[in-house]
Amino acid sequence: MKKTTTTRYDVAEHLRTPEEMAAYLEACLEEANGDATFIAKALGDIARAKGMTQVARDAGLSRESLYKALSGDRAPSFDTILKVVGALGLKLHAEAIQL
């Protein structure tokens, strides 16, 4: 019997267009249930797809601090989130929900 080899799935390899990146972030925002580290990790996936060095430069952050902030190990400051979202060419929006 032939052995099957697998590789680790990396969503960043599949985020090719700004529309795909925005849809991915939107889906993660819906699934996060208030978990800021989950959103940070999602932004990290998008930043890796776009190029971490360029995103760091556009956000005015060092590459190392960007990796730390978006690792998913800790919740970054909202200021950092806003800088990264802007550098990614995305925007956050609010929508009213029925309680």
- Write the pLDDT tens digit of every residue in 1-53: 789 998 899 999 999 999 999 999 999 999 999 899 999 999 999 999 999 99
Residue 11 counted as domain residue: no
Residue 32 counted as domain residue: yes
Residue 99 counted as domain residue: no
Structural domain boundaries enclosing 70: 16-87
Tell me the C-alpha to C-alpha distance, in Å, between residue 85 and each of 2, 28, 43, 93, 99: 45, 14, 8, 11, 28
pLDDT exceeds 90 at position 74 = no
- Average pLDDT of span 54-71: 95
Count the domains in the chain: 1
Residue 69 counted as domain residue: yes
Q: Give the pLDDT band (50/70/90) at residue 57.
A: very high
Q: Give the pLDDT band (50/70/90) at residue 78.
A: very high
pLDDT exceeds 90 at position 98 = no
Residue 48 counted as domain residue: yes
Residue 27 counted as domain residue: yes
Residue 25 counted as domain residue: yes
